[in-house]
Amino acid sequence: MPRRPAAALATSGEVLCLIRTGEAVTRADIGRVTGLSRPAVSLRVTELLDRGLIVEDSEGPSTGGRPPTRLVFNASGGVVLVASLGASRAQIAVCDLAGHELARTSLDVDVEEGPDVVLPLVMDTWDDLLGDRPTSPVRGVGLGVPATVEFAAGRTESARIMASWTGVAVPPIIAERFPVPIFLDNDVNVIAIGEHRAVYAGEADDLLFIKVSTRIGSGIIAGGEILRGALGAAGEIGHIPVRDGGGVLCRCGNIDCVDSVASGTAILRDLRARGRDVKTLDDMVSLVRAGDAETMSVVRDAARMLGEVVASAVNLLNPAVVVLGGDVAETFQPMVSGVREVVHRRSTALSTRNLRIERSRLGPGAGIVGCAHMVLDHILSPEAVDAFPRSG
């Protein structure tokens, strides 16, 4: 293997990356992979050990003679605090530095009450969950909120359901109690990240996640990374119009957005217009499970309209898998058959050749997993590790 030129000498952050991925787990490996001299490797390893980011594993295989000391990423060298907020429920957790849940709880919260009420409640819950681990340093915070988020600024924008959140910069509020790196994203984006990391990573790194619930939203994973767009508004699939929607006014002011004709809200409205007594999405799901023909037909019509928009997205993005999640995805059969029918008719042959359309496998925990990875990807990146002030 050619040695790297001196200009590309690996930093401590890059060495950590090699250890985390298992690419190089002994000092000799690191020297071989990076071309660093023995003293240079030793300097970087010592720094990572001092900072508690790695530990030495003496449990090496004993085959006579002294095995080289293995270096292991220290997943318990700190914790991240995460919360995935929905309209009426929040999943709140403490995770280790590998993204595994150490403690989780869910909470009934009305996000409409606004950040002044909701954020202190979330932070109190983190404190409760942290109760048993006061010694684990908090390394970062991640939140998913049901609003469009200007990612770099951590600021909510044109809130999807809650006006009281419009234009709120969340990180400064959290930083008063947890002065660590804080990341905020749209709820569907964090669910897409969670679904990808936990189920599809390395196997399907181009994934379109569509949440069909009270509203329709999507998260796009392209080449293994979430696609946020210039400011964070990518994935707003709900406000793409469909043909022949019937002239329904969407809450965004346009006509026949797929959200206004195919969301759970729209399906309930259509069923009620036919004189059916359905109050909640659960009622609708029960009717589908019971094989009610009229409900199945309304769901399938909604799915065909959703399919039109998904077909365009498939042409544009060529995902390996489209994952349907959210409450309406509980009616997976009529939903997926409607979507599949239109996608295979309307998308290009190459984009659908190996396309899978699947149901979300992670359920309510997806947002938590996604939030944890969103934070860890940032705080453990070589750039972030190298920017950390050297302690004496």
* 263 to 29, 162, 269, 303: CA distances (angstroms): 53, 18, 10, 9
Least distance CB 263 / Zn ion (angstroms): 10
Least distance CB 241 / Zn ion (angstroms): 8
**Bridge partners of 155?**
150, 169
Which uninterrupted H or E stretch holds 85?
Answer: strand 79-85
Beta carbon nearer to Zn ion, 212 or 366? 212
Beta carbon nearer to Zn ion, 54 or 210? 210
Least distance CB 186 / Zn ion (angstroms): 16
Q: Using CB under 5 A as the criterion, which residues of the chain lie in contact with Zn ion when the complex forms?
A: 239, 250, 252, 254, 257
Could you tell me if residue 330 is left (phi over 0), alpha (psi between -120 and 50 degrees) or otherwise beta?
alpha
Q: What strands, in cross-sheet order, belong to the sheet with 356-359?
A: 225-226, 216-222, 207-212, 321-325, 356-359
How long is the chain?
392
Least distance CB 252 / Zn ion (angstroms): 3
> What count of other Cβ atoms lies within 10 Å of the Cβ of residue 80?
26
Beta carbon nearer to Zn ion, 133 or 239? 239
Least distance CB 259 / Zn ion (angstroms): 5
Closest CA to 216 of 161, 260, 271: 260
What DSSP assignment string belongs to 245-296?
--SPBPTTS-BSBHHHHHSHHHHHHHHHHTT----SHHHHHHHHHTT-HHHH
Cβ-contact 323, 204 below 8 angstroms: no
Cα–Cα distance, 27 to 43 (Å, whole number): 11
Beta carbon nearer to Zn ion, 249 or 316? 249
Least distance CB 88 / Zn ion (angstroms): 22
Residue 306 one-letter amino acid: L
Least distance CB 250 / Zn ion (angstroms): 3
